[in-house]
Amino acid sequence: MAREWQLIFIGIPIIFLIEMLFATWSWQKLRSLNRQRWGKPLACVFISCFILSHSMSIWADANFYRPITMQRANLPLSYPMTARKFLERHGFINQSEYEQRLMSEGNPAAQSITYPLAPLDYSKDESSYNLLMIVVDGLGNEDVAKLPSLQQFADNNLSFSQHYSAGINNETALFGLFYGISPSYLDSVLSSRKNSALFDALNYRHYQLALFSTNGFKSPLFTQAVLADYSLPTSRSEDNDTTINSWRSWLLKNKQSTPWFSFLQINGDKHTSASQAQLNSQLETIFTTLKESNILDNTVVVVTSNYHQNNDKQDSQWLISKDTFNLSQSQVPLVIHWPNVTPQKLDKLTSHQDIMTTLMQHVLGVISPADNYSQGEDLFANTRNHPWIFTGDNETLVVFLQDNTLMIDKHGRYALFDKSGKEIQSAKPDLRLLLQVLAEQKRFIER
């Protein structure tokens, strides 16, 4: 950093010198320049460049030509035209097809990223633990006590009481879980179809993959990124019982000696007492199957959620009202069964990105620095390197602290909220902390 500042201080006097030389030359040539007719030719050149640049931007936006569209981030004072409404009105693009492509391929203006920052290095030791990841959609921290089977599993294993999801919808939450980086990179990953570093490590270690989901893996995150290199069956939604039975059948029939990775995603509908009892029974089936198959001695089991769905509040929005932050939807359970680790309840800040980092280091034997492939930290570390975790999307940056939450929108407006989600009036963020977060957030952007 010091060297960069030195180069800046050296460069500024050179720029001033060039300006002075140009000003002196212009003054000496003023009379001869006045006799020249430069006005109209220069105006024509500038007008032509203006029209051409905006025309190129319109074409690139309509055709998802990213070498042009991604330049918006490099030119912050430029507002290139897109003219989508005009093109839709005159039949040049189909609105539904464009929106579908936008969902599957990400924002055309998404910046290019380098992920991971360097090739992964692995230890020579072979991985021996199986890995089971269970995601219960819509489950919040407060729901654990209402599900006796999950509560018992949490009491007998590692339970993290201040765990935050990576996002407030299914796509962004699972992105943080599989990629270990901020969901603000989601569009960049979709556009470039980058593999997850977690799945790269699983393939390197020759893990069997067995993936089960009630939604059939039909979201762009799976079809365009995580599972883009795999042949997927026709996507179809199933109920919890069918999905769990398929997973259970695979597990009981699996006799291969190589380690496996299984992902099981089920619906966490608990809006009525009957659906809550049914969900508890389904979780009980999963935990009983694990015990009866005698695999817990060599299997790491991670139980978490994508985000907390609460009918009383506005889901998938950061704010409930102008001055109230929707904190509970980001607070989800995290319970981990780790062989030979003493059960305990931990109350330090943790995030979905931390899960990916921990599995890479302690299960898959990745010895590369975690900063190369993740923005998370080791769950087993006594303290965090940073006293904060952050998430967000293209519109908003959210920083979770021990005692409050900071939110910054795309226009740079900020607000600080207390533990209950109420805005702290006239509060100002710690500038040093904010600069650290912003530097960390942009670390994977291609330079």
Domain ranges of the chain: 38-105, 130-386
HSE-CB of 6 using CA atoms within 13 angstroms: 3
What per-residue confidence (pLDDT) applies to 328?
87
- Tell how strand 260-267 and strand 208-213 pair up: parallel
pLDDT at residue 173, rounded to an integer: 92
Name the residue among 12, 255, 303 with its Cα closest to residue 141. 303
What pTM was computed for the model? 0.80
Strand order in the sheet with 405-409: 389-392, 396-400, 405-409, 414-417
pLDDT of residue 59: 72
| Per-residue confidence in pLDDT tens, the chain, 447 aa | 445 545 666 677 788 888 888 888 777 776 666 666 666 777 788 788 878 877 777 777 776 666 767 666 666 666 676 777 777 776 777 667 666 666 666 666 667 889 999 999 999 887 789 999 999 999 999 899 999 999 999 999 999 999 999 988 888 999 999 999 999 899 888 888 889 999 999 999 999 999 999 988 888 888 888 888 877 766 677 889 999 999 999 999 988 788 999 999 999 876 778 888 999 999 999 999 999 999 999 999 999 999 888 765 556 678 888 888 888 889 999 999 999 999 999 999 999 999 999 999 999 999 999 999 999 999 999 889 999 999 887 678 999 998 899 998 888 888 899 988 898 988 888 888 888 998 898 899 877
R_g over Cα of the chain: 26
In this predicted structure, what is the pLDDT of residue 2? 45
Q: Which of 154, 129, 155 is nearest to 296 (CA)?
A: 129
d(CA 140, CA 156): 19
Host H or E run for residue 135: strand 130-137
Residue 169: CB atoms within 10 A of its CB come to 19
Q: What does the block give as tokens for 271?
A: 């809006």
H helices of 65-185, in order, are: 66-69, 84-89, 95-105, 148-155, 170-179
**208-213 sheet: strands from edge to edge:** 208-213, 260-267, 130-137, 299-304, 334-337, 158-164, 344-351
According to the model, what pLDDT value does residue 100 have?
A: 66
Q: Taking a C-beta distance cutoff of 8 angstroms, is the pair 159, 321 a contact?
A: no
* Under 8 Å between Cβ of 421 and 324: yes
CATH fold of 130-386 reads Alkaline Phosphatase, subunit A (3.40.720)
- In this structure, the strands spanning 130-137 and 299-304 are parallel
**436 three-state secondary structure:** helix
Give the Cα-Cα-Cα angle 287, 291, 294 (nearest 5 degrees). Answer: 140
Q: What is the pLDDT of residue 180?
A: 95
| Alpha carbon 340 to chain centroid, angstroms | 31
CB 327 within 8 A of CB 421: yes
Cβ of 192: how many Cβ atoms within 10 Å? Answer: 18
Strands 158-164 and 334-337, by their bridges, are: antiparallel
DSSP per-residue letters across 223-273 = IIIITTTS--PPP----HHHHHHHHHHHHHH---SS-EEEEEEEE---SSH
